Chains A and B, each alone.
Chain A
């Protein structure tokens, strides 16, 4: 087990290194550099040259890469090219927002949807299963901004509860005040991930239910509840954990539409703004954070799968 985890860690590390090369040199392909974009429509050639030198954009790429990677390992993400502020300052608040929203969404969305999905798997083809399938497929197909618009229309304009955008500072707010602060984005995202998780957990459990040893258990006369919770669920944990991990990674990195719609700043919006301002240092730092998030979450998912499934631990 330890050996497996160590090997998995090693692969993760190589992935991160490979991604760092891609991120660093990928950002150099974008047209225009930070000096040009920052000076904008009004720049003169002299202005641009002066700024370029100040930002260190006149050094060779390899030199810039090694310097950057060394600093990243030490936790120094560098200074933003577009605003002269340390990247860690830019990320700080947004990271808190993103983390809070995704954690809470996971806390609310994951258990509920797993329970609903497994229940659907217990009674496949029942009326309950069909209604749930209909709702979750509809929600999978509905884009986030549509769900968000419906929620705003219902809660803010019809019922008069809450804010249409996330306003004000999170400083000094307690846990429940924070939930109220982010209520609508969390609700929107819960709908988005729930629909997917319900479908996946139902499918995973049903998939196991059709395997021979379950049929054996049924023939033996084991009650259905016991079959699902004792035998099927343990074997379905692997795929379910993987889907949960992917959804969590999405919550950290990919919720730009929700962030833009509710007007709060998170990491996803930040990286888009980074691309627009050609702030390579910011893009690189965020790219690495996203990569680490994925690698760590997948690592946890894999370990959970190993732990729940002895066959993975002892491959033939």
Chain B
């Protein structure tokens, strides 16, 4: 049933032995014709074989070399860095997690999934029971073999009301985890969820050893084992020789944060570090023209937004939010603030980076006439409209300032108050009538909308309540027909676009930079450094 999710006609969908065999053929100099012939003989169609061939050829041209050392620099890090996957908060945590641990599934660039520690993933017909066959012969860093007990121990840490997991909401529909035998577990769900294996491929669901309570070090199944870990100072991994899969090519992988973006850029340009996250937009041109340095950008669904509370005075005026949406200078934000490293927002959270994006909704543009029409109907007149904003992400403040300026031209009096980011999420966000926010991309459209748009969600920013939307959002989780599913997702996105009231003017890319010798970059658009999935595949070309 989950076939349509595996929307990668790539290397990953071949079995391990087939992958190896074809790679060997290519390395011995086999031509496209030879390989296609082998596929056809094996029963594949020509259409399916071609993309498989190109991804294989790509893989062969970039056969990883073993050895060397890389230093990858994050931005924020500090004393709250942790090795407990349930408590991960930052891109630095996510990346470090991938160095040391493994997870049941692994996400693909199209946000499908492929098996990792679970070698097979199956569900029943209505997606309420998921079976995971645990891979045999996987070893932890201390030599113990991975079994079902480890998986169940890990997963139970995310369940229940008193769970301290930051990702408990992603698996709240799981009733219990059951052990079938030493290498098979079943998740019993209280409501259908066709996207569960994708959620389990995300940052927080890294598999621990049964009974782990001390997180001063990490005993995982990842390609690197902990050589040094000091919160806010650095993490160094050395190759784990008994890693079960392909990957872990470097002798050592070092990871730490340099908080200041100028210092980070200096260090990168001087060659002190091999790659850095969050290249400041103004430095893009400089890096592009520097020899041996490259941009590592991922088109993503992360966004900045302005949210009116629909249950508070003034901001509950539907004509006001329609005017605000029409005043967003989207083009200018993407070009001016992000230097092109972003895409136009359409006042709904699901953009083309998501599998379930709906391309049929017309793009909203800057339209002063429309704004004027709605503003006059709103009856607000000269009264100041307070908007609280903070630099929570690039463009978060500019979206307010651009809107203020456009508003001024037609007589709207936006009172933009800029506050500090420190404590913003606790004391301003979700409390002021109109304020800004910034969101990271989530692995699926359903997770994103459930977190931030469902009527009973804690972070339903506008307090929008639409029973039809809520019902459809739950229904679609069990929808296994691809066309019906697409239609339902289109309906959901249209409802937000029309009625939610939120302005989402811009989606931003993850823009990192890496030296040319940093190879094996991944492209999962969920976070920096290729969705924090790259530690497994990184290798160094100049060793």
- Interfacial residues, chain A to chain B (CB-CB below 8 A): 30-32, 36-47, 50-51, 54, 80, 82-85, 89-90, 93-94, 152, 156-157, 163-165, 167, 169, 260-263, 265, 269-270, 273-277, 279, 282
Contacts and interface: CB of A to CB of B under 8 A. Distances in A.
Given A31-B423, A32-B426, A157 B270 contact: yes
A274 B166 contact: no
A163 B271 CA distance: 8
B233 A163 contact: no
Contact of B232 (A31, A157, A265): A265
B266 A82 contact: no
A47 B168 CA distance: 9
B427 A163 contact: no
B232 A90 contact: yes
A169 B228 contact: yes
A90 B231 contact: yes
B426 A274 contact: no
B351 interface: no
Contacts of A50: 161-164
B272 A164 contact: yes
B82 interface: yes
Interface stretch (B175-183, B256-264, B341-349): B256-264
B272 A47 contact: no
B70 to A, nearest CB: 12
Given A84-B82, A93-B230, A277-B80, A263 B162 contact: no
B452 to A, nearest CB: 10
B459 A32 contact: no
B458 A165 contact: no
A94 B233 contact: yes
Contact of A51 (B84, B164, B231, B459): B164
B89 interface: yes
Contacts of A94: 233
Contact of B263 (A38, A80, A90, A261): A261
Contact of B272 (A32, A165, A274, A276): A165
Contacts, number: 128
B375 interface: no
Interface string B227-257: 0101111101000000000000000000000
Given A50-B162, A51-B164, A38 B87 contact: yes
B270 A273 contact: no
Nearest to B267: A165
A31 B428 CA distance: 11
A144 B468 CA distance: 59
A85 B163 contact: no
Contacts of B165: 47
B215 interface: yes
A277 B79 contact: yes
Contacts of A276: 78, 422
A41 B163 contact: no
B496 to A, nearest CB: 19
B71 interface: yes
Contacts of B264: 165, 263
A98 B380 CA distance: 57
B166 A40 contact: yes
Contacts of B422: 275-276
Given A164-B272, A167-B267, A273-B232, A279 B80 contact: yes
Interface size class of B (residues with CB under 8 A): 35 or more
B81 A83 contact: yes
Given A38-B80, A42-B166, A279-B80, A165 B232 contact: no
Contacts of A152: 266
A85 B216 contact: yes
A164 B266 contact: yes
A167 B423 CA distance: 31
A41 B429 contact: yes
A80 B79 contact: yes
Given A32-B423, A82-B79, A94-B233, 5 more contacts: A46-B161, A82-B78, A90-B232, A156-B266, A263-B259
18 contacts: A31-B423, A31-B426, A41-B459, A42-B459, A45-B458, A47-B163, A82-B80, A83-B82, A84-B82, A152-B266, A156-B270, A164-B269, A164-B272, A165-B266, A273-B78, A277-B78, A277-B79, A279-B80
Nearest to B82: A83
A46 B162 contact: yes
A36 B163 CA distance: 15
Contact of A85 (B79, B259, B423, B459): B79
A91 to B, nearest CB: 9
Nearest to A271: B79
A161 B344 CA distance: 44
A91 B383 CA distance: 52
A40 B425 contact: yes
Contacts of B169: 42, 44
B458 A84 contact: no
Contacts of A282: 79
Contacts of A43: 166
A275 B423 CA distance: 10
B273 interface: yes
Contacts of B164: 47, 50-51, 54
Nearest to A273: B78
Contact of A163 (B87, B215, B230, B270): B270
B122 to A, nearest CB: 30
Contacts of A169: 228, 234, 236
A240 to B, nearest CB: 34
Contacts of A83: 79-82, 231
B461 to A, nearest CB: 11
Contacts of A262: 263
A110 B422 CA distance: 37
A84 B270 CA distance: 36
A261 to B, nearest CB: 5
A3 B451 CA distance: 68
A260 B259 contact: yes
Interface in B197-230: 215-216, 228, 230
A164 B84 CA distance: 32
A75 B422 CA distance: 31
A27 to B, nearest CB: 14
Given A31-B426, A42-B169, A152-B266, A85 B231 contact: yes
Contacts of B216: 85, 89
A269 B256 CA distance: 15
A90 B79 contact: yes
Top 5 nearest A-B pairs by Cβ distance? A82-B80, A273-B78, A32-B426, A164-B270, A164-B266
